[in-house]
Each structure stands twice: as C-alpha cells, then as structure tokens.
Amino acid sequence: MSATAMTESAGQDPVLFREIPANGGRLIGVATLNSPKTLNGLSLPMCRLLDARLRAWAADDRLVAIMLKGTGGKAFCAGGDLHALYRAMLDSRAGDPWANVPAREFFETEYRLDHLIHRYPKPVLCWADGIVMGGGVGLMLGASHRIVTGATRFAMPEVTIGLYPDVAGTWMLSRLPRGIGTFLAFTGAQLGAGDCLHYGLADRICDAGEPDALLAALADVDWAADPVRHAAQVDAVLDACQAPAPEPGPLQRHADAIRQACGRADFLEIAAAIAVWKNDPDPWLARAAATFLAGSPGSARLSHTLLARARHQSLAETFRMEFTASLHCCAEPDFREGIRALLIDKDRNPRWNPATHEQATADWVQRFMAPAEPPGHPHPLADLGA
C-alpha cells in the first residue's frame, strides 16, 4: 500500500486517523477505533474525535471515501463506555434525569455522531469485523457501505443491562419484518453475516482480517470528478473483493416461528411466546429465550413501546426520543443495576425493578417518555435535520 499522507498515530490515542493517497491527488480517510482492551468500546472522547474528523473530511474536496474500523482483531466496537456511565449514575441525584451531566454529554455527542454518519455526503465504509454491539451498531447502521465478515457477531443485547437498543436501534429494528425487530430487542440474539445481509443490516461480505487489500483497491480507483459517482465506484471495488455468499443464519431459519410469536401487539403475549423456547432443542433459540428471561422486564417493555413509536418517526425524531429515554434510564434503577451485575460486581444476579413482565405495565413505561429537559429548555437535539 502507498505511504500515508498522515501517519497513523501511535500510543494510546483512542481513535487513529490516517489519509491514504489515491489516484488523481485524492485521499481515502481511515478512522480506527483503538481501544482493544475494551473491545473498542465507544467513549465520549472517541465520539468527539470521530465527529470532529468526519466533519473536517466532509469539507475536504480531496477526500473521496472514508472507512471506519477497529483494532485488536476481536471487535469493531462492542458497545459504549458503560463504566463511565455507571460512575455518572452513582454521582447524580436519583430520579433526576437532567442532573446527570456526563450522561447528557455522552448521549448527545454519540447520537449527533451517528446522525452525521447516516447523512454523510461521501461514501462511508464500515468494516464490521468481529463483535458489533450497542454503540458499534450505531456507527455501522448509518454507513453507506456496511461490510461484514465470517467473524461478525452483530447484536443489540441491552436487555441484559437494563437499557434498550438505542443509537437509532429502535428506528432500525422497527423497520424489519414484523416481529423480527421485537425479537432482536427482547433477546439480544447474535447474528452472523448471513442474517445481517438477508435482513438489510449489512450490504457486503468480505474475508475477515484487516482490510488492507480493500483500501489498496480504493486507492487505485480512477476517481470521477463528479462526487455523485463515487458511491458507485466504491460498489465496483466491493464487487471485486466480495466473498462468497454465506449460508442462511438462524434468524432466517426460525423466521416464521419468530414472526408468529413476536408479531402480535400484546406485550405479555410476546413475552409468554418467547419463554416457551427456553427448552427448545435449537441452542440459538434456547439461548435467546434464556437471555430474555434473565434480562430486565422494564427494558423489554421500554423496547416494545419505543419500537412502536419509531415505526412512524423520522430518523431525527427517533434520536430525540431515544435521548429522552436514555436519560430516564440513567435516572431509573435498572440500568445502574444491570451494569453493576455484569461489569462491576460481576455476580450476574441483577435485581430488576420492576421484577416481572406483568409489573412492567404500559402505564409504568410512560415515565421514559416525559421530557427530560427543564421547562422552557430546548431539546438538546432539536436542531437535527430529518
């Protein structure tokens, strides 16, 4: 590969940036998440760095395409910085969502970054190799070219920590075939490349590993003068690099049963239908049911409510809704308790409140819809475009 115009930073920088020279004086931008010990978990500093650099690259006429990827070989990005959010929840006034300033800053910055990627004016390739969860899904979803590999493990497992599929996850899941998005939100079931491609969560499959060959091929393109043609030129490169189509995944194999179980409107009926699978002979389906039954009943109810609303919203409206719901999650007990049980004490014995799906009523969940900002204060994401 050609020498880089900007040397990739060394050391502990949480995001590494470089610009690869391409034909005709063009450049390919590469942003690499660089926190392998946390499986490239997304922190507030990482979001700020990515946002600033992506905005600079958008304004640089030399930049024709951008790639997002991760270091370490295990994950593109396994989620957000839960330890930082846990500390912020401990330091904030209980029951006051607006008082948690670190959470406000994190969710506003992360959601703005995700929205920017969705609306980016240039091709964005996301190399979604390895684990892609939570905040990593947020970065991946908006990319124009979402590339999975045989090692991809895609999931939105927030039910296990008392949250819900945010980062526009509710917007994405609500647009899948009826019942499929609800199942994924309730169970956190992991998907491989085959299911991601089949359900439109990814666009291409390439061989696992570092994408050096793909970057070299992009650098060799005779880039058109008209930027409108650049996406098609990226498509042509990916056509040449694409790996063979994968086998159908478990979500495809169980799609009919999942649609029948989770495509109904009543929350408790869905919960009962998923619970039946806890002893299913298929380990993937049994694991999904076990995760649901061990997860937060309040998170499942919140996901159910938000997916129903997101189905009729624009992307920007969904980000605003999720910002409000996420701040309320930080003020309610389950999110803090879920992180404690999984990452702090690691006893894997969370004490959920509400403790059952029956107690997580439609009336109870309305607290997550109330404005988090003080009266007269504009919503922090009020200025997002559609």
Question: What top-level class would CATH report for the domain 15-368?
Answer: alpha beta
**The pLDDT of residue 337 is above 70:** yes
Domain ranges of the chain: 15-368
CB-based contacts of 86-91 (< 8 A; 24+ apart in sequence) = 86/336, 86/339, 86/340, 86/343, 86/344, 88/330, 89/330, 89/335, 89/336, 90/336
Q: Above 80 in pLDDT, residue 10?
A: no
Altogether, the residues listed in the chain come to a count of: 386
Residue with tokens 């979001």: 47
Helix pair 267-275, 255-262: axis angle to 10 deg: 140
DSSP conformational letter for 14: S
pLDDT score recorded for residue 11: 54
Please give the structure tokens belonging to residue 380: 């922090």
151 falls in which pLDDT band (50, 70, 90)? Answer: very high
Whether the predicted pLDDT of 7 surpasses 80:
no
- Encoded tokens for 1: 């590969």
Q: Please state, for a pLDDT cut of 90, what percent of the chain lies above it.
A: 95
Task: Print burial letters for 66-98: b (CB count within 10 Å at least 16), e (below 16).
Answer: bbbbbbbeebbbbbbbbebbbebbeebeeeebb
Q: How far is it, in rounded angstroms, from Cα 179 to Cα 18?
A: 42
Q: Are 152 and 246 in contact (CB under 8 A)?
A: no
- Determine contact, residues 117/54, Cβ cutoff 8 Å: yes
pLDDT digits (tens, 9 = 90+) for 113-141: 999 999 999 999 999 999 999 999 999 99
Over range 182-201, report the average pLDDT: 98
pLDDT in tens, 222-274: 999 999 999 999 999 999 999 999 999 999 999 999 999 999 999 999 999 99
